[in-house]
A = this chain, B = another copy of it.
Amino acid sequence: MAEGATRETALREAEAACLRRGATLTPLRRQVLELVLDSEAPVGAYALLDRLKASRPGAAPPTVYRALDFLLENGLVHKLERLNAYVGCTDAGHAHGHDHHHHPHQFLICRTCGATTEITDHAVTHAIDAAARRAGFALAQATVEIEGTCARCLAA
């Protein structure tokens, strides 16, 4: 995120995805999405709320949580459970391949710089599917959050 071009692309794709799904990307929701996309690292709900207040003084926790719920539902952002923070979905256009909004994905979270990378590793996905199947477990969604040190911080 954060390189200008990507942000605009992501926003355009978000609007297209909502259109396809019959969902409405209202100004408020779009603004929260912009705030998430503008963050380098995962961003907490209350940090979003603070920034939102600059243009909407009346904003309260439910304001941002409702918008986040919508964005999560529609696969436009993801939540990092270990951090209680949110990131934009960078798997541009995944909706083409998936009717459902929860495409399989994993995160690499750097403990040093906080940067978070979304990946879609099919070997991981398959191994998890297989493990669930072996346990007779019907998988709905898998959370994979890998913590460590990113390549850039290792170099430094």
Instruction: State the number of copies, please.
Output: 2
The contact string, 1 if C-beta is below 8 Å from chain B, for chain A 92-120, is 00000000000000101011000001010
| Contact, CB under 8 Å: B136 / A147 | no
| Contact, CB under 8 Å: B121 / A127 | yes
| Contact, CB under 8 Å: B148 / A137 | yes
Closest B residue to A141 by beta carbon equals B147
A128 at the interface (CB under 8 A from B): yes
Report how far A138 CA is from B123 CA in the complex, Å.
18
Say which residue of B106, B127, B146, B151 sits within 8 Å of A123 (CB atoms). Answer: B127
Tell me the minimal C-beta distance from A129 to chain B in angstroms.
Answer: 9
Report how far A142 CA is from B139 CA in the complex, Å.
19
The contact string, 1 if C-beta is below 8 Å from chain B, for chain A 47-88, is 000000000000000000000000000000000011000000
Known A132-B146, A132-B148, A138-B154; further 7 A-B contacts with Cβ < 8 A: A108-B137, A121-B131, A123-B130, A124-B127, A124-B128, A141-B148, A143-B146
